[in-house]
Amino acid sequence: MKDATITQRTPKLALGPVLYYWPRETLLAFYRQMSTTPVDIIYLGETVCSKRRSLNTDDWLELAEQLTAEGKDVVLSTMVLLEAESELKTLRRLCDNGRFTVEANDMGAVRLLSGKTPFVLGTGINIYNDRTLRFLAGLGAHRWIMPVELSRTTLACIQTQRPAGMETEIFAYGRLPLAYSARCFTARHHNLPKDNCQYRCLNDPEGLTLSTREGQAFLAINGIQTQSAQTYNLLPELAELQALGVDVLRISPQAEGTETVVAAFADCLQGVREPAAAAAALNAALPQGACDGYWQGQPGLQQVAALG
């Protein structure tokens, strides 16, 4: 990564925000560990449910300082579904932090960040075409993450038209964020009302698996968020991602093995491991298997590319 030409061509590795509810000590231990891995960018903050307060805003900002001091490029992520005034209040505080870049996951956040400071367009923002991307670039967005349901073909189209200076990030590894609701499905599973959820999602560090009545796992319940049960793994597509000029590859944290995933991506980017083999090794440890359908323009849950 010392050669400037390689730096330009090699995508950076980003660690997405933790999407689950983990206890404070677990979160802090996780980030202590991540600070020693080769991820370049770390997205911090609660994006799913404002009732999850293992860390409050001050704690997140303090953690951001620590990780910055350790050489990480920190971005503060914001909530996808903003309903209550208290949530908007936290959002304003994050958008006005004056120190760290912010990832907008709602157009309310885009409004608060527009024209003030460069910002990132997260998975919660629907950017399906280059015109929308150009409009948001005009307001100060300098990085966007492609909606996970879009394919390599659409990415190729958008990349040829993307505005100058705009970085493209791809959700490259993890359980896909598929949907958000007012309803908490974890509370529903435990027959509890959302207002008295008893923080049951603390018991599910990687969510609850949802299967069909014939035992086919396909979704994971994570509070108000629904994820894929399968893990999206684009490591085998590394060469194409680089050829398409992707700037950042996002790894979405899991409770177990995230450091192994980071190491596999980093090794492949440095050319010391072969992507297909490294991906196969990662996939072997996945309880519900891997998928790459979205990238291939197919139903998301499918695994299209042959696994090594």
Which residues make up the interface to another protein (CB under 8 A)? 80-85, 87-88, 91, 106-112, 114, 124, 126, 128-132, 135-136, 147-150, 154, 157-158, 161, 176, 178-185, 188-189, 193-195, 208-216, 218-219, 221, 226, 228, 293-294, 297-301
194 vs 280, which CB is nearer to another protein? 194
75 vs 137, which CB is nearer to another protein? 137
30 vs 218, which CB is nearer to another protein? 218
Entry field: residues in the chain = 308
User: Minimum distance between the CB of residue 129 and another protein, rounded to whole angstroms?
Assistant: 5
User: Minimum distance between the CB of residue 27 and another protein, rounded to whole angstroms?
Assistant: 25
User: Minimum distance between the CB of residue 225 and another protein, rounded to whole angstroms?
Assistant: 10
On the CB side of 159, how many CA atoms lie within 13 Å of its CA? 19
65 vs 135, which CB is nearer to another protein? 135
Look at residues 73, 107, 108, 105 and name the one whose alpha carbon lies nearest to residue 92. Answer: 108
2 vs 213, which CB is nearer to another protein? 213
User: Minimum distance between the CB of residue 77 and another protein, rounded to whole angstroms?
Assistant: 16
User: Minimum distance between the CB of residue 105 and another protein, rounded to whole angstroms?
Assistant: 10
In Å, what is the CA distance from 50 to each residue of 47, 57, 81, 205, 272?
8, 11, 9, 17, 41
Tokens matching residue 28: 């802090």
Give, in degrees to the nearest 5, the angle at Cα 125 between 152 and 70. Answer: 85
User: Minimum distance between the CB of residue 211 and another protein, rounded to whole angstroms?
Assistant: 5
179 vs 284, which CB is nearer to another protein? 179
* Mutual angle of helices 258-269 and 275-284, in 10-degree steps: 170
| CA dist., res. 170 & res. 249, Å (int) | 5
User: Minimum distance between the CB of residue 218 and another protein, rounded to whole angstroms?
Assistant: 7
> Residues 6 or more apart from 53 whose CB is under 8 A from it?
46
C-beta atoms surrounding 232 within 10 Å:
24
SS3 labels along 94-157: HHCCCCCEEEECCHHHHHHHCCCCCEEECCCCCCCCHHHHHHHHCCCEEEEECCCCCCHHHHHH
227 vs 254, which CB is nearer to another protein? 227
